[in-house]
Amino acid sequence: MLLFLSLLLLPACNGKGGRDDTGDGHAGDGGFDCGYVPTDPALDAASPLGGTVGDWLALTLGSDEQAFRYTDGTTPDTSLSLSVSSTAKSVTAWSSPVDTAEDDDCDPTLEVAVQLDLDTADGAFAEAVSGTLHGSTAETGTVHASWDYAARGGSYEATDLDPTEWEDLLLGARVDLGPGGSEGGITLEGRRLLPDGTGEGFQGTIGTWPAEG
């Protein structure tokens, strides 16, 4: 099965980005240092997004079924079923104490550990993986998950590359969730270190949903 690939040249060593465990130095969408401070509100606590934390989870966790389309242009569409669940007793809320003209870039967010179950009717994917659900509005959330290609649960094979030639080969999923259902995609990415010390990698989209037209 072919997929769209893009080759990237990467530095041999990549710095860490995003939030750290202390919340120090975290930048907002515009690169502004928001000084995010993490808290762990209970599910019945008020959410910085509006309503309660439990309200947000009720609107984003759950199951969905959609038509799934492969990007290779030849593999037939199939159906995809997914479920996002969590056993967490609290979530992490990231809020900024910053009060400046630039604080539109420092909106609060919620994060919680989830399990993503993702299956396609053709058997290519039968995954049960851990991920993180992020929310920046009271009614929507996005799941990010990645797992080792070698540990995949379905029959999917990346026939246009040799898996042994890549040090890190990962499948990934991004799932946008809300009252209207879900949409998202499944990806494959790989990285390896070259003899000259530089890194090389690729990112490819295997398929997306919902399939339309």
- What is the average per-residue pLDDT within 128-151? 96
Interatomic CA distance for residues 166 and 168, integer angstroms: 6
Q: What is the full DSSP assignment across 3-27?
A: -EEEEEEE-SS----S--TT-TT-B
C-beta of residue 130 within 8 angstroms of C-beta of residue 99: no
Lowest model confidence (mean pLDDT) among 46-50, 134-138, 185-189, 209-213: 209-213
> For residue range 94-132, what is the model confidence (pLDDT) as tens digits?
887 655 445 556 789 999 999 999 999 999 999 999 999
Q: What is the pLDDT of residues 30-66, one digit of tens each?
A: 445 677 788 999 999 999 999 999 999 999 999 999 9
Torsion of CA 29, 190, 144, 159, to 10 degrees: 140
pTM of the model: 0.82
Query: Could you count the other beta carbons within 10 Å of the beta carbon of residue 211?
Result: 15
d(CA 56, CA 145): 20
